[in-house]
Amino acid sequence: MGQTVTAMKEGAECAALRRFVEGNPAYRDIALALVRACREERPVAEAARLAAQAAPAKAQRLQRPETVARTLAEQGVLESRAYVDGEPCDPAELAQRDDLPESATVAYTLQATPEALRIAAALQPEHRLAALLDEPEHQRGALVAILEAARARGGLARTDIDELLEDSPALERDERTGIPRFYPSYFTGLLEHAGGLVWNGAWRATEPGLDFLDSLSRRSCE
């Protein structure tokens, strides 16, 4: 195995991954796909390719998997290893060397830390969607109604969601002014952040979103 570069304290990569995902939600899918791809030690190019296959095209237009991988390695979420002609060497030292023969074969690999794998599993859409059940009951109803309508109609325009929630108690309208405390975009935002809804010309339920609805149906039958 190659020598590992990690300046993080034990367990700190867990917090680093959370901060990265929460601070850069547009890159979340790529980051989580990279961690999953690097359960085993992989060459950087292979890890990036696997992440590209798993992450939505929209996310990749914002940032290349290779760039996200470099950031995660710098933060200790992914361990970076280096090899010269199959022999392990320190990646930082290798970057400073200028005495390598032209015939030398240099390879860099990545592997997710156990802590990163654990937190990545907790951040998967099925867990984020399940956490929405902790919302107040009337708001849970609005979230489920949006997903069910998106499934039934194949997609919802913003005006469709406005109409769907027009009389919903989830908006919590002020009794005196009638002004809602929450707007429909609040609920689509929650679902999008959790991975249950995606905008693709219309709001559409994702596979995790559909699985979430199915799990609710099974639960109601128990």
Give the pLDDT confidence score for residue 6 in this predicted structure: 41
CATH number of 126-221: 1.10.10.10
The mean predicted confidence, pLDDT, of the chain is: 85
The three state secondary structure string of the chain is CCEEECCCCCCHHHHHHHHHHHHCHHHHHHHHHHHHHCCCCEEHHHHHHHHHHHCCHHHHHHCCHHHHHHHHHHCCCEEEEEEECCEEECHHHHHHCCCCCCCCCEEEEEEECHHHHHHHHHCCHHHHHHHHHHCCHHHHHHHHHHHHHHHHHCCECHHHHHHHCCCCHHHCECCCCCCECCCHHHHHHHHHHHCCEEECCCEEECHHHHHHHHHHHHHHHC
For the stretch 206-216, pLDDT in tens is 889 999 999 98
For the stretch 40-83, pLDDT in tens is 999 999 999 998 887 766 666 677 899 999 999 988 889 999 99
| Domain extents in the chain | 3-123, 126-221
pLDDT at residue 8 greater than cutoff 50: no
